[in-house]
């Protein structure tokens, strides 16, 4: 019944322009924004009314959101297809708070690994981690793919410039074709380079291919010296025996667990590059921000709950208004990697068409997530947002303060002014997208049609007091919980990713065809057979 009421309400709203909603309610912002700690969420530029949220909350109640939140935080196997709990939230539980699953103290295990990380970080920062020839490590290369690359890289790049606490340089390599690693190896010194091999299963082809290349590079440069792997490799995995088999000694192994999904793993030892970039104090501040968001999500009323509100508004746009794309638009170059991170978080989690009951879903699920740094995107794809034929919802993200007070010197005034320019553009673009011509001062009816702005593109704005480890931790956890809430409403499992598996299996079989001494096109389609023929001839 709640869905029917929501869809009927959508019919009433489809003819209404966001500009008219503002014109009819001078207090609209006051009613349609919410704050948690350093985050302010303004959703007044969404095409909805306060009663829309009442209907959405009823949909959430009928979908069993309260029950599923209890299951998530109670350690139930919410990942039903793999019969696993999803306990990424346990990675940020304080040490003095008990966290037990099936009689096992997982909290103690988490904090044991954090202490192991801290020992590694201190040793590297102090110049005491040395290569096999005795020189101090100056460069660290993280080799991973998916969640083992996107999360650590996004956070490290976002925070290192202002909160960095490391004498070493961080690099990331993920592509299976070796192009990233090949470029890095031309510039690095093998005597002073440390590699982190991050793979939950430690069987990921992309990661192990890059790891093997790195090992061969070291052996060609330094010889097969005793202690080479001990001095130049750290492993992070849920399968210690696989790390040992590859050659990584026990003291260089960090542990994650089956109940940590790859795209939810930056809070674990997978986040070692973050800890190397920020120091452990910075990493723990990141965890605190996420932990406080966990508590807000669990206990705040839904109408004041940032993750729940974001999720419900997304459901409204997708299922009621037919808006099937979401652009993530950070107005801060430090968040350059955030859109790519959220693409994986949302589309790998909720890009599903089969429900928890094993039947095809009856409603659209995850939208297409895309985006870019706002000031650059204004010169790229904003033309489509403003005057194209596609409806796109937008998340604008910007910190209010860019430079801390000690940076307010004469030499920094220009950079402060540039940040103010970014803030102005963020507010102007969201206003124009939502209100269209009504955002322009004075009459615009005399403008030619190709210069008009229709507006009515739904926008939310997330203001951060400032970008810090704590605020970024809260921001990322907010999006994690948003994804979970939407999965509950759509009746899907957000914690598996079977859609990525079959392609890898077919790739293994195809690789054998490429390397075979004789052509064999049996069992494949004519297109692939033709392409294989061209590849072999070349």
Q: Which residues are catalytic?
A: 348, 379, 504
Phi, psi of 141 (to 5 degrees): -115, 120
Q: Is 62 left (phi over 0), alpha (psi -120 to 50) or beta?
A: alpha
CA distance 391 to 398: 23
DSSP codes joined into one string, 436-481:
GGGGSSS--TTS-GGG-------EEEEEEEE--HHHHHHHHHHHHH
Whether the CB-CB separation of 478 and 39 falls below 8 Å is answered with yes
- Reference 119, options 237, 226, 234, 246; nearest CA is 234
Checking DSSP bridges between strand 459-466 and strand 39-42, what pairing results, if any?
antiparallel
Cβ neighbours of residue 148 under 8 Å, at least 6 residues apart?
A: 142, 198, 199, 200, 207, 236, 262, 265, 270
Whether the CB-CB separation of 284 and 473 falls below 8 Å is answered with no
CA distance 248 to 296: 40
CA distance 337 to 266: 14
Checking DSSP bridges between strand 368-371 and strand 459-466, what pairing results, if any?
unpaired
Cα dihedral angle (532, 534, 537, 538), rounded to 10 degrees?
Answer: -110
Whether the CB-CB separation of 499 and 351 falls below 8 Å is answered with yes
Q: Tokens 């920094």 correspond to what residue?
A: 412
- Count the neighbouring beta carbons within 10 Å of the beta carbon of residue 411: 8
């Amino acid at each position: 019944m709640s869905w029917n009421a929501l869809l009927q309400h959508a019919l009433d709203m489809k003819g209404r322009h966001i500009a008219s909603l503002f014109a009819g309610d001078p207090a609209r912002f006051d009613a349609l924004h919410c704050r948690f700690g350093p985050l302010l969420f303004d959703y007044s530029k969404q095409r909805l009314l306060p009663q829309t949220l009442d209907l959405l909350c009823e949909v959430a109640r009928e979908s069993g959101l309260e029950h599923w939140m209890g299951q998530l935080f109670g350690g139930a196997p919410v990942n039903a297809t793999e019969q696993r709990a999803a306990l990424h939230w346990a990675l940020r539980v304080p040490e003095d708070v008990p966290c037990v699953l099936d009689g096992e103290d997982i909290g103690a295990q988490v904090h044991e690994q954090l202490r192991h990380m801290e020992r590694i970080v201190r040793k590297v920062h102090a110049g005491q981690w040395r290569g096999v020839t005795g020189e101090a490590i100056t460069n660290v290369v993280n080799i991973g793919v998916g969640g083992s690359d996107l999360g650590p890289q996004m956070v490290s790049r976002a925070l290192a410039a202002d909160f960095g606490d490391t004498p070493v340089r961080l690099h990331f390599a993920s592509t299976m074709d070796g192009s990233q690693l090949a470029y890095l190896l031309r510039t690095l010194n093998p005597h002073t380079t440390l590699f982190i091999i991050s793979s939950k299963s430690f069987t990921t082809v992309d990661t192990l291919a890059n790891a093997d290349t790195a090992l061969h590079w070291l052996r060609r440069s330094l010889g097969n010296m005793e202690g080479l792997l001990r001095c130049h490799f750290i492993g992070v995995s849920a399968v210690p025996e696989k790390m040992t088999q590859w050659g990584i000694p026990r003291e260089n192994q960090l542990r994650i667990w089956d109940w940590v999904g790859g795209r939810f793993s930056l809070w674990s030892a997978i986040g070692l590059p973050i800890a190397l970039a920020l120091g452990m104090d910075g990493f723990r501040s990141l965890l605190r921000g996420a932990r406080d968001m966990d508590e807000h999500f669990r206990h705040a009323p839904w109408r004041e709950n940032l993750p729940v509100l974001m999720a419900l508004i997304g459901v409204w746009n997708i299922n009621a208004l037919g808006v099937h794309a979401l652009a993530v638009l950070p107005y801060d170059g430090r968040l350059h990697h955030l859109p790519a991170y959220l693409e994986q978080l949302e589309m790998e989690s909720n890009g599903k068409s089969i429900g928890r009951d094993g039947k095809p879903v009856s409603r659209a699920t995850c939208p297409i997530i895309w985006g870019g740094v706002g000031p650059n995107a204004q010169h790229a794809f904003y033309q489509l947002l403003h005057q194209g034929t596609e409806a796109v919802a937008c998340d604008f993200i910007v910190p209010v303060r860019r430079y801390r007070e000690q940076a307010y010197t004469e030499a920094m005034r220009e950079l402060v002014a540039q940040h103010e320019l970014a803030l102005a553009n963020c507010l102007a673009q969201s206003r124009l997208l939502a209100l269209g011509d009504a955002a322009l001062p004075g009459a615009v009816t005399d403008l030619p049609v190709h210069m008009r702005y229709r507006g009515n593109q739904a926008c939310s704005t997330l203001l951060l007091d400032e970008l810090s480890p704590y605020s970024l931790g809260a921001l990322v956890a907010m999006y994690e919980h948003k994804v979970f809430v939407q999965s509950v409403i759509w009746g899907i499992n957000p914690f598996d990713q079977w859609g990525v598996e079959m392609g890898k299996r077919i790739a293994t079989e195809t690789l054998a065809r490429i390397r075979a001494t004789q052509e064999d096109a049996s069992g494949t389609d004519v297109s692939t057979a033709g392409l294989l023929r061209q590849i072999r001839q070349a």
